[in-house]
Structure 1
Amino acid sequence: MPARRPSLFRPLAAVAMVAASSLYALAQQPPSPSRVRGTIEAVDGDLVAVKSRSGEDVKLHMTADLRVVGITRISLADVKVGSFIGATTVPGADGMPKALEVHVFPEDMRGTGEGSRPYDLRPNSTMTNATVAESVVGNDGHTLLVKYKDGEKKVLVSPDTPVVTYVPADKSDLKAGAKVIAFVKPLSDGSFETNRISVGRDGLTPPM
């Protein structure tokens, strides 16, 4: 007579199937955004209503320790050897990273996010925060050699690449029509909490 399986087997199998289904469902969910880019539509107390670049209506709850920084355009000539910069890049046709934007950090922000990592501005984009070690002017623009604690990278910055820097700002700069990028974490009601917002000056859209 064949041995009977323990009666505990079926409940355990059912639990395993439910767990596997739950993990599969979680895997299919899109990742929660860590940044919201868009245009402010209204500000009501500590709540900011933003129309995202993809057309979604997003509500942002500002924390008590919110930091607001302004973004303003500068010249590529302002990027010097020794500058601490951030550069969003995508692979160029020849394999060299091509800058979609460059932002120069002021001295009090030197070291912010140092390193190189995947970024969400465009598919296959990378954010590299590093110190400019060398700048070479060529026919296609500037080639920057940037160095960070774990390595180095050459970046091609064309003449039409947006170059910006950070300037002081505060909550009074958060008004309808302003272009912003907010660093967020999701809340249970579908809205977001933000403790840092970068706002473009003079109608500028933060390019990062």
Structure 2
Amino acid sequence: MKNLVLACVATLSLIAVDAGKVQAQTLSRVRGIVTALKGDVAQITTHQGNIIAVNLSANTKFADVTYAKISDIKPGSFIGTAAVPQPDGSLKALEVHVFAAALRGSGEGTRAWQGDGRKGSMTNGTVGDLVVTNGRTMTVSYRGGQKKIVVPSDVPIVFIDAGSLADLTPGEHIIVFGENGTDGTLAAERVLIGRNGLVPPM
């Protein structure tokens, strides 16, 4: 399952990542594995092999990312997806994240996206029609528009819910958004935590 590098990650507004805010702030984004945790400092080893100290604070927001499946998506679900255009005008999803009910409305809308060498869009909205028996196609509505999105069978689907510092443990894959310090550390504003061995696909 290929990891996607999102230019603007559409995740949580109140508790984790607000997509529009991330895009506007241009925060540094670091992906890696937690190798140590002491107090309010987490040590992570990045996918490039670098070791970085991540400073956590009372203002750091956390989100848990867990495995999900297509059957977890129902009409009325609020989802986000990075997708690329198809010749028929529909979009092909590269990943889909399903938001917990309390996070409905996070980053609602559609915006340009570029990652993994591809250009497309990031869309957050409410699922309307959902057809699973005849392919995996759904309509996603948001303020001012609607998209038809095809979800291939090999596309990762995850569930995003509120998290906390207590969820952060060594061995977990995380994505950190924060500001680089002059001493080489990273001051975390938001952290996505892959639970149960999950590597967040955003």
SS of structure 1 residue aligned to 2:56: strand
Residue in 2 aligned with 1:181?
Answer: 175
Gaps of 5+ in 1: 1-31
Question: Is 1:61–2:55 an aligned residue pair?
Answer: yes
Gaps of 5+ in 2: 1-25
Counterpart CA distance in 2 for 1:119 and 1:185 is 21
1:171 to 165, 168, 174: 165
Residue in 2 aligned with 1:151?
Answer: 145
Residue in 2 aligned with 1:97?
Answer: 91
1:128 to 123, 132, 143: 123
Structure with more relative contact order (C-alpha pairs < 8 Å, separation 6 or more): 2
User: For the structure 1 residues 46 and 93, does the alpha-carbon distance in structure 2 shift closer, same or farther, using more than 3 Å as the test?
Assistant: farther
Residue in 1 aligned with 2:6?
Answer: none
**What TM-score do you get using the length of structure 1 for normalisation?**
0.74
SS of structure 2 residue aligned to 1:77: helix
Counterpart CA distance in 2 for 1:39 and 1:95 is 38
Q: Which has the higher helix share?
A: 1
SS of structure 1 residue aligned to 2:174: strand
**Aligned-pair distance for 1:73?**
0.9
User: For the structure 1 residues 191 and 117, does the alpha-carbon distance in structure 2 shift closer, same or farther, using more than 3 Å as the test?
Assistant: farther
Amino acid at match of 1:102: V
Q: Number of residue pairs matched?
A: 177
SS of structure 2 residue aligned to 1:39: strand
**Aligned-pair distance for 1:86?**
0.7
SS of structure 1 residue aligned to 2:58: strand
2:69 to 59, 72, 75: 75
Could you tell me whether the CA contact under 8 Å between 2:99 and 2:161 is conserved in 1? no
Percentage identity across paired residues of the two chains = 40
User: For the structure 1 residues 98 and 53, does the alpha-carbon distance in structure 2 shift closer, same or farther, using more than 3 Å as the test?
Assistant: farther
**Aligned-pair distance for 1:111?**
0.7
Counterpart CA distance in 1 for 2:182 and 2:174 is 23
Counterpart CA distance in 1 for 2:27 and 2:53 is 13
Residue in 1 aligned with 2:7?
Answer: none
For 1:130-186, what per-residue CA distance to the aligned partner results, in whole angstroms no more than 9, with x for missing partners?
1112212365x3111111113221111012211111245322322221011122233
Amino acid at match of 1:49: Q
**Aligned-pair distance for 1:58?**
3.0
Residue in 2 aligned with 1:110?
Answer: 104
Counterpart CA distance in 1 for 2:170 and 2:29 is 19
Q: How much is the aligned-residue C-alpha RMSD, in angstroms?
A: 2.4
Residue in 1 aligned with 2:188?
Answer: 194
User: For the structure 1 residues 188 and 94, does the alpha-carbon distance in structure 2 shift closer, same or farther, using more than 3 Å as the test?
Assistant: farther
Amino acid at match of 1:48: A
User: For the structure 1 residues 185 and 161, does the alpha-carbon distance in structure 2 shift closer, same or farther, using more than 3 Å as the test?
Assistant: same
For 1:11-68, what per-residue CA distance to the aligned partner results, in whole angstroms no more than 9, with x for missing partners?
xxxxxxxxxxxxxxxxxxxxx6542222112223222222223433333211212222
